[in-house]
Amino acid sequence: MNFITTATINAIKELYSQEVAESVINIQETRKEFEGQVTIVVFPITKISKKSPEETATAIGEYLVANVAEVTAFNVVKGFLNLSIADDYWINLFNNELLNDDFGKVKANGKKVMVEYSSPNTNKPLHLGHVRNNLLGYSVAELLKADGYEVFKVNLVNDRGIHICKSMLAWQKWGNNETPESSGLKGDHLVGKYYVIFDKEYKKEIDALKAEGQTEDEAKKNAPLIKEAQQMLLAWEAGEEQ
C-alpha cells in the first residue's frame, strides 16, 4: 500500500504545511467489524495537525477521496481512518501478480525431493484413475518446487512381474499369434484383453477347485494357471528366453 503512504504524506503537507517521514504513517488492515480495507492510525499525526483525532482523520479522508482514484470512501472511528479501496485496484493487483512467474514461489531451500507417480500400465490401458493420479502427482511436484525444493519427477515403468506374465500366458494359450496389427487394437488394449481372459479362466479354475473341497485361498494358490504364470516369471527372472 505504498500509494496510500505517499498520498497521506501529501495530504499532511497540503493540509498542515509540514513534511513528514514515512515512519509516521501507520497503516493497518481494517478490522472486520468496520467498513473498509485499509486503516490509517491518526494519533501520531495529531501532533502535527494540532487537532482532535476525529477532525484530523476526517480532513485526511476527504483529501484522499478527492485526490486518490483508488480511495472511494472513508469512515472515522475515533483515531482510526478506515479507507475503502476501489474493486478495480484489487482486480488489477491480482492480475499483475498472476502475470508474475515468481508469484507464490519462495527461495530455494537447498533440499531435494523425488515425486514418483503414474507409470504406464503394462497389463491394461490407462483410464481416468490414472489421469487423476497423473494430475495429483504433477501438482504435488509443482507445489514442492514452488516451496523451494529441487524436485525430481519420475515414474516406474513396471514391465516385469506377475501382472504382465498373466497377459503373456493368456496370449500364448489363446492368442493365436494375434498382434496389434492383425487385431486393429492398440498394443496396451491387446495386452489388456489377454489380462482379462486370464482372469476369467483363472476364476473358472478357482471355482472348480472349490467345488472339490478346497478353500478359496487354497484354490487361488493351487489353480494351474497361476502356477504357470508364476513359473513363467521365475524363468523370465532367470534370463531364460522364450
pLDDT tens-place values along the chain, 242 residues long: 789 999 999 999 999 999 999 999 999 999 999 999 999 999 999 999 999 999 999 999 999 999 999 999 999 999 999 999 999 999 998 888 878 877 777 888 999 999 998 876 767 777 888 889 889 999 999 999 989 999 999 987 767 789 899 999 999 999 999 999 999 999 889 998 999 999 999 999 999 999 999 999 999 999 999 999 999 999 998 888 76
Q: How far apart are the first and last CA of the chain?
A: 73
Q: Helix 187-211 to helix 224-237 angle, to the nearest 10 degrees?
A: 130
Task: Give the per-residue pLDDT at 98.
Answer: 79
Task: Give the per-residue pLDDT at 167.
Answer: 93
Task: Give the per-residue pLDDT at 118.
Answer: 81
Task: Give the per-residue pLDDT at 52.
Answer: 96
Task: Give the per-residue pLDDT at 126.
Answer: 79
Task: Give the per-residue pLDDT at 225.
Answer: 97
Does the reported pTM lie above 0.75?
Answer: no
Task: Give the per-residue pLDDT at 205.
Answer: 97
Rounded CA separation 164/176 (Å)? 18
Q: Would you give the DSSP letter of residue 58? A: H
Torsion of CA 208, 209, 215, 217, to 10 degrees: -100
Rounded CA separation 167/202 (Å)? 12
Task: Give the per-residue pLDDT at 242.
Answer: 65
Task: Give the per-residue pLDDT at 115.
Answer: 95
Alpha helix stretches (DSSP H) within 126-179? 128-146, 162-174
Task: Give the per-residue pLDDT at 127.
Answer: 81
Domains and their CATH numbers in the chain: 2-88 (3.30.1360.70), 104-154 (no CATH), 162-237 (no CATH)
